[in-house]
Structure 1
Amino acid sequence: MRIVSGKYKGRRISAPKKLPVRPTTDMAKESLFNILNNQYYFDDISVLDLFSGTGNISYEFASRGTEQITAVDSHHGCIKFINETAESFEMAITTIKSDVFKFLERSQQQHTIIFADPPYDFPTEEFAKIPQLIFENKLLETDGILIVEHSKHTDLSHLDHYTHSRSYGGNMFSFFE
């Protein structure tokens, strides 16, 4: 995987093969950030990266100037890798090792952008819990957005706060406001 833009543009990051991850493709990531670039100044926002895996999305935000980034994952190896990578690039990424749903139930901090990339094989009920907990606990700022990455075979359009989806190959991003 590589960082597609910003201070660290072009830098390659190689995650250990033993991590249980499926990083967002460079094409999908670049398309997503083109959308976000038209809505936000990256140095003025707060980002929450859920099911952060390798930290791919967190690194992209950090490379573009975001300084308030929290990455949450339940896997010790993922958190360790993000910490090591962020330190080597001197990126300000706070990591939290936690079950994402438990974290969302406890959290009280609001964010401008919340990005969630759960396993593609999650049942629809599990996908539905993500926006439900975020909106019930008011974790988005007023002009904030929740983006959930999922397979093109998963339909989230029936969920509350859903606004639209974008498809990039086999990847989909569903947006909630």
Structure 2
Amino acid sequence: MLMLRIIGGKYKGRLLEAPTGKSTRPTTNRVREALFSIIDSKYKLVGARVLDACAGSGALGLEAISRGADHSTFFDINKNALEIIKKNIINLNEELSTDIYQADITNPPKPKNGVPCSFVFLDAPYQSKIPIEGLNAISKSGWLHQSSIVIIETKKDTNFPWPNIFREIELRIYSSTKLHFIEYIG
């Protein structure tokens, strides 16, 4: 069994279970720490609503809650991953501040109560077109508001032509991983 650790906030040091096998690839602790350091220094996470798409273990959404986000929604298509996310949520006693959907970001449900998210974490399988298709789908289905930030994890050598309703505002490289910070400009 693979275990991850919450990096910061009220649950710092708490362990999270992660799915094993090749169907998921958890964001490394180093990249997650760097990602949240950027968010903490440049954006307002406290009180935010977050979408963790292609969630795997739910580590990104749960890290956001640990650091002050009010609510995290989790999408994954893998039933095993969804069970692990649910277990991690229960272990942190965060059932009231989370929603879980067996959903594909390229065909998402509408947001609960029609409330969009300020941050979206998209850590899709590396060799897929899911980031582009997912960006278009979540923008059309109400998950984003003007200036929502989407953080997309890709391989270092991956580049996408972002849809014209988004603009890349920051790019960071960590070893073989690239983080794209994309702003929704609708």
CA distance in 1, matches of 2:73, 2:10: 19
**Which ranges in structure 2 are unaligned for 5 or more consecutive residues?**
none
8 A contact 1:48–1:115 mirrored in 2? yes
Maintained 8 Å contact 2:105/2:138: no
Compute the displacement of 1:153 (Å). Answer: 1.9
State the identity as a percent.
Answer: 27
CA gap of 1:85–1:19, structure 2 versus 1, over 3 A, is farther
Q: Is the 8 A contact 1:110 1:140 kept in 2?
A: yes
Which residue of structure 2 aligns with residue 130 of structure 1?
134
- Shifted more, 2-11 versus 14-23: the winner is 14-23
Work out whether 1:166 is the aligned partner of 2:172.
yes
Letter in 2 for 1:148: I
| Cα distance between partner residues in 1 of 2:182 and 2:138 | 10
Give me the whole-angstrom Cα distance separating, in 2, the residues matched to 1:151 and 1:64.
Answer: 26
Tell me if the contact between 1:19 and 1:78 (Cα under 8 Å) persists in the aligned partners: no
Residue-by-residue CA offset, 1:106-157 (whole Å, 9 max, x unaligned) = 55541100111100121xx43321222233445322231111111112112x
The reply on whether 1:96 has 2:96 as its aligned counterpart is no
One-letter identity of the residue aligned with 2:7: V
Q: 1:19 touches 1:77 (CA, 8 Å); kept in 2? A: no
Compared CA separation, residues 16 and 116, structure 1 to 2 (3 A): closer
Q: State the alpha-carbon separation in 2 of the partners of residues 83 and 54 from structure 1.
A: 9
TM-score by length of 2: 0.84
Is 1:176 the counterpart of 2:179? The answer is no
CA distance in 2, matches of 1:126, 1:83: 24
Aligned: 1:143 with 2:153: no
**Structure 2 CA distance for aligned equivalents of residues 95 and 58 of structure 1:** 11
Per-residue deviation, 1:100 = 2.0
Q: Is the 8 A contact 1:47 1:112 kept in 2?
A: yes
- Partner SS, residue 18 of structure 2: coil
Q: What is the total number of aligned residue pairs between the two structures? A: 173
Q: Could you tell me which amino acid in structure 1 is paired with residue 84 of structure 2?
A: F
Q: Is 1:114 aligned to 2:120, yes or no?
A: yes
**Partner SS state of residue 13, structure 2:** coil
- Aligned residue identity for 2:53: L
Higher strand share: 2
Shift in Å, 1:36? 0.7
